[in-house]
Amino acid sequence: MVVCDVTIVTFSGGARSNSSVRGTVLKLEDGFQVDYPQDGDHARLTVRGQSLEMTRSGQTQLRMSFEEGCGSELALFLGEDWGSVPIETDRCHIRAVRDGWRIALKYRLLFAHESQVFHVNIAVKFISEEQ
């Protein structure tokens, strides 16, 4: 495993949020997996080819998947209750760079009466091999 910095910048509805945490990368045959903490929960990014899955477990449990030009859903679990919201992914661009990966997302959550657009930039930067 490789120790990494994970930086996630999200733009939506005129607001910007920025998160930067330390995580670990596991290289997969057809991509990679990044595990990192998020607000006290465990979060994971899994990349296979040009598709991305984001999961979170702990107090908040959710699953989202993205593939450019494809529909999917946000599944949210709250105890025994759960719900889902359709997602349309306009952009899911994943590229390897010298020191890690960069991911650019643009997607829409399709609520019953409106949609909300998100632009997300994710940078995974290698720090060192884990001992």
Give the number of domains in the chain. Answer: 1
> pLDDT higher for 60 or 61?
61
Task: Specify the CATH number for the domain of residue 18.
Answer: 2.40.128.20
**The amino acid at 79:** G
φ/ψ of residue 16, rounded to 5: -130, 135
Instruction: Identify the pLDDT of residue 131.
Output: 47
Cross-strand partners of 19: 8
Pairing between β-strand 15-28 and β-strand 31-38 as defined by DSSP bridges: antiparallel
Instruction: Identify the pLDDT of residue 130.
Output: 57
Average pLDDT over residues 44-61: 93
**The amino acid at 72:** S
Please state, in angstroms and rounded to a whole number, the distance separating the CA atoms of residues 32 and 25: 7
User: Residue 120: exposed, middle, or buried by beta-carbon count in 10 A (0-12, 13-18, 19+)?
Assistant: buried
pLDDT score of 66 more than 50: yes
Domain that holds residue 11: 2-129
| Residue 50, helix vs strand vs coil | coil
Question: Which segment of 25-29, 42-46, 110-114, 125-129 scores lowest on mean pLDDT?
Answer: 125-129
Instruction: Identify the pLDDT of residue 78.
Output: 82
